[in-house]
Amino acid sequence: DFLFDGVVNKNMLYQFGDATHIYGNGIPQPKFAFEMKCEAKDFHRMGKEGNHLKIYYGGVTYIKFYAGEELDLIESLGKDIDISLVGRSQINEWQGRKSVQVIIDHINIKQGASRSLF
């Protein structure tokens, strides 16, 4: 529904993530597309099995569950990774703190034009 190309509007994502009461009954949750240039330090393995991907970029956390193949590709690329992704904004509350995060539905990972998952 909206493309963020490099600069992420965290406040807009927060407002959409906090408005979950208006979705459903025929009103779909909006999806956002992101184009990012990331470094290896922006990626983290999560979960007991280490198969969930967490990307921290532009003050926002992006999460992809069951992302073993994507994590392997990211680790093989090393650095200077271009990411295109589509996801849904939501609010994460932990220990009384609220933060915006994006649940990744689709992701494309590449280093220059040399390798790509899709």
| 19-36: pLDDT as tens digits | 767 777 777 888 888 988
The reported pLDDT for the residue numbered 41 is 86
| 31-62: pLDDT as tens digits | 888 988 888 888 999 999 999 999 998 888 99
Say if CB 55 and CB 43 are below 8 A apart: yes
The reported pLDDT for the residue numbered 2 is 65
* Complete DSSP assignment for 91-118: EEEETTEEEEEEEEEEEEEEETTTEE--
